[in-house]
Amino acid sequence: MLKETKHNELTEQIIKVFYDVYNELGFGFLEKVYQNALYLELKSRGFKVEAQKQIKVHFKGYEVGEYYSDLTVNDAIILELKAAEGIVVAFENQLVNYLRATNIEVGLLLNFGKKPELRRKLFDNDKKKLKKSV
């Protein structure tokens, strides 16, 4: 499977929900409001959604940290949500690192800014160096 098409149908469905939520709420709320609305809308459309899923980061077999994804959909896509003026490289790097630390290969960065913005990030599992402890 080409990496450009990994979970393409699922990401397209999530993006549609993102725009539906954005069109209803508009710009100006805190990130948590958008997270809650997106969570509820994805659940209502039959997706498996987890909010604030803990993801542990390992280094040479040792747990060195943890983070919590904003939303994880169908155990296949990490959603990183922002409510900022615009998407910056640091947001994209953050999502790539989240993908690097998990077995999930696809992430969406969704910004509920003055205009809706998104980025799709991929990180193939066969290229990941961070491994979970044995």
CB atoms within 10 A of CB 108: 22
What's this model's pTM, rounded to 2 decimal places?
A: 0.87
* Residue 45: inside a domain: yes
Q: Report yes or no: 128 and 104 within 8 Å, Cβ to Cβ.
A: no
Positive/negative CA dihedral, 66, 17, 92, 27:
negative
* Residue 1: inside a domain: no
* Residue 134: inside a domain: no
CATH number of the domain that 22 lies in?
3.90.320.10
- Provide the domain limits for residue 42: 8-121
Rounded to whole angstroms, how far apart are CA atoms 13 and 55?
24
Q: What phi-psi label fits residue 28: left (phi over 0), alpha (psi between -120 and 50 degrees) or beta?
A: left
pLDDT in tens, 75-134: 999 999 999 999 999 999 999 989 988 889 999 999 999 999 999 999 887 776 655 433
